[in-house]
Every structure is written in C-alpha cells, then in structure tokens.
Amino acid sequence: MKEPQPITMEGRVARLEPLARQHAPGLLEHAAPEIYRYHTPPPEYSIAGFEQYIEQVNAREHSLPFAIVLKETGAAIGVTTYLDIRLLHHGLEIGFTWIGIAHQGTAVNPECKFLLLRHAFDDLGAMRVQLKTDSRNVQSQRAIEKLGAQKEGILRKHMMMPDGSIRDSVMYAITDDDWPAVRDGLEARLGYAL
C-alpha cells in the first residue's frame, strides 16, 4: 500500500483539504458541545483554541487529518482523518470525524466517506479500511452501516474516555473485496459518480 499524502479531494458538495490553521474560524463556527460527546474533550471555543486543536491533531502519529470544507461557502464545517495507517498490512482507519450539526444527515458525510474510501482503495491500494465508534453512539453506528461497512464486533472496555467512563467500541470494516459493491451503493445513494 502507498503511504497517504496530504492531498485535496473534491466532491460535489464538499472538499477534503489537509487540515491547517486557516480552517480554525470555520471549525469554531460549526462546533458545538454535543458533537464532542463521544470524542476527545472539545477544544477551547476560540480561534486560538481551534488552532491549538489543529496542531494537536496534525501531530498524531500514523494519521492524516482533513478539513471538511463546504464548497458552497468555502467554510470548514468539520474534520475527518485517516488514522492507524498500517502500510505493511495494507490498511487504515477512517475516524475522528465530526461535522457541524446543520450539515449532519445531508450528503456531506457519505460524500466525504466516498472520497476517502475511493482514494484508499483505488489510489493507495488498501485491502482494509476500518471504522469504529463508541457503542453508545447509535447515530454514528447507523451512518457507518449505511455506508455498507460490515460490523465485525465489539471491543469491550476498549478505551478510557476523558470523563472517566469506559468505552466499548463497535468495529466495522470494508475490504477491497467489499469495495465494488460499497462504491456502487454510495454512487447510487449520492445520485452520481464522482
């Protein structure tokens, strides 16, 4: 598998750009406390806080974060990341995704996942792309299932959360064998082929 590089991926409604300080104002505008319920603690709600958040996210090993930019306005409305990049094993994870509440349930999430999956399988040569979420986050589980990912199981007592609670994680994956059907399903769902 090729190593993912910071690139821009363009869809019809959204664009994925390498996450940078310039995205802080848009992220601040679209962030809300409830978005971070199952994530790491929210950044401080200021431009400086989101600039620091962007630095921290970019410093994570084996990951490549992207800003989700709404093409209509040019504003960053969320973040998504390639993480746990395992070149030797031809796999990676898509995660640490959040999207402003006004854009949840729209074409933004499926389009961004389509762009990330297409790049991972068709350009990088991935065999496996995994996604996981908090077992309490039913909204995220439904969104992952609608993509066509297969539920593989629950990682019990998988993580300690910032509030001290213990998280079970639900693991999903799409393999290169699954990708043609998943791609076709996403193209049909989005109503176009990118």
Range of the domain at 91: 9-190
pLDDT of residue 164: 87
pLDDT tens column, 145-176: 999 999 999 999 999 988 888 999 999 999 99
pLDDT of residue 193: 61
**Domain contains 4:** no
| 8 Å CB contact between 159 and 63 | no
Whole-number Å distance between alpha carbons of 77 and 68: 6
Share of the chain above pLDDT 70, in %: 99
**Domain contains 127:** yes
Whole-number Å distance between alpha carbons of 120 and 179: 10
Whole-number Å distance between alpha carbons of 156 and 169: 7
Partner residues linked to 130 by β-bridges: 93, 173
Q: What is the pTM of this model?
A: 0.95
Whole-number Å distance between alpha carbons of 172 and 37: 20
Token reading at 58: 């970019």
**Domain contains 25:** yes
Share of the chain above pLDDT 90, in %: 90
Tally of structural domains, the chain: 1
Place 58 in a pLDDT band, splitting at 50, 70 and 90. very high
User: What's the 3-state SS for 99-165?
Assistant: ECHHHCCCCHHHHHHHHHHHHHHHHCCCCEEEEEEECCCHHHHHHHHHHCCEEEEEEEEEEECCCCC
**Domain contains 142:** yes
| 8 Å CB contact between 113 and 121 | no
**Domain contains 17:** yes
Mean pLDDT of the chain: 95
Provide the 3-class DSSP secondary structure of residue 1.
coil
Distances (CA, A) of 156 to 40, 133, 153, 171: 19, 12, 9, 11
| 8 Å CB contact between 17 and 73 | no
194 pLDDT above the threshold of 70: no
Nearest residue to 59 via CA among 26, 81, 75, 37: 81
**CATH code for the domain of 120:** 3.40.630.30
**Domain contains 3:** no
